[in-house]
Amino acid sequence: MVVLSGCGPAAQDATTDDSSDASADADASTEAATLGDGTTLRVGMEAAYAPYNWQVSEASEYTIPIENVSGAYADGYDVQVAKMIAEALGMEPVAVKLDFAGLIDALNNGQIDIVCAGMSVDPDRAQSADFSDSYIDDDIVMITTQDSPYAGATTFADLAGASVMGQAATMYDTVIDQIPDINHMTPGETVPIVVESLASGTSDVITYSMLSVPKLLETYPNFVELEMEDKFEGSVMPDNAAIAKGQDAILEQINEVINAIPEDERQQMWNDCMDRQPA
């Protein structure tokens, strides 16, 4: 009995300590669920990568202010998603315009709270920041003309002899090396140059953004997308938000926002951004 009596208070003290610890953990969790100052969501982006994000001089229902550029605003697909995230967190979004290469460092030194910038998670970046689920996935497809001898191609082998062009210094050019026995043309410096090469007959086939195909076919009714059985390897390009590590509760909230956006709404948002982006 004495032993049991002696154990009783000790157990009660332990319970009290556990309650205190649990309360402290709850308070810490509440703090952890606040991003930045909890009021202004500073969104890092280039504001120069349409249709993901770009800079404009007038405010609209689609824009947010650029904090570090006087009189400027950001628009784009990333901006629309950032606005949704900010609303869910009860915060007001502002863009912070930075070089793409400096975004993760800016995140970790507290200059920004979140990156929404057409950025895809990769092993190196994942070591320095936590990434959300993708809020849109792009891929690389191929386009030709309706009267092209390659219009019926379904395999890479069917493209033998074709002159194929992509955009310089991007994956749209490098994936062409995966197609055997073709003429890998000197890449175009910009997307319009690549598109014009097909329209003029300089190229037989071009690589292009899967998400942007509907608008391209509206503009060029004689273009067709190749229905390929062969797929490029490593060509899927997710768009992930990034936050500083150790904020699991916030990351969960962000993913809830992202996963609640239906696929058709994502495509419509993209199409609308394609319509609004600078020429």
* Geometric angle at alpha carbon 97, from 96 and 101, rounded to 5°: 115
Q: Model's pTM, two decimal places?
A: 0.77
CA distance linking residue 107 with residue 134, whole number of Å = 18
Give the whole-angstrom CA distance, residue 248 versus residue 95.
Answer: 23
pLDDT for res 33: 73
**Residues 163-209: pLDDT tens digits?**
999 999 889 999 999 999 999 999 998 888 999 999 999 999 999 99
Q: SS in 3 state form for 188-248? A: ECCHHHHHHHHHHCCCCEEEEECCCHHHHHHHCCCEEECCCCCCCCCCCEEEEEEECCCCH
| 209, β-bridge pairs | 140
In 110-213, which ranges are E strands? 114-115, 130-138, 140-145, 163-165, 183-184, 205-209
Amino acid at 129: A
Ordered structural domains, the chain, with CATH: 40-137+238-276 (3.40.190.10), 140-225 (3.40.190.10)
Alpha-carbon gap, residue 59 to 65, rounded angstroms: 8
CA-CA distances (angstroms) from residue 274 to 43, 214, 215, 269? 21, 10, 8, 9
Residues 80-115 pLDDT 10s? 999 999 999 999 999 999 999 999 999 999 999 999
- 219-239 pLDDT, tens digit per residue, is 999 999 999 999 999 999 999
State CA 231 to chain mean position distance: 21
Contact indicator for 95, 74 with CB cutoff of 8 Å: yes
User: Does 261 have pLDDT greater than 60?
Assistant: yes
**pLDDT tens per residue, range 131-162:** 999 999 999 999 999 999 999 999 999 999 99
User: Is residue 152 within 8 Å of 158, Cβ to Cβ?
Assistant: yes
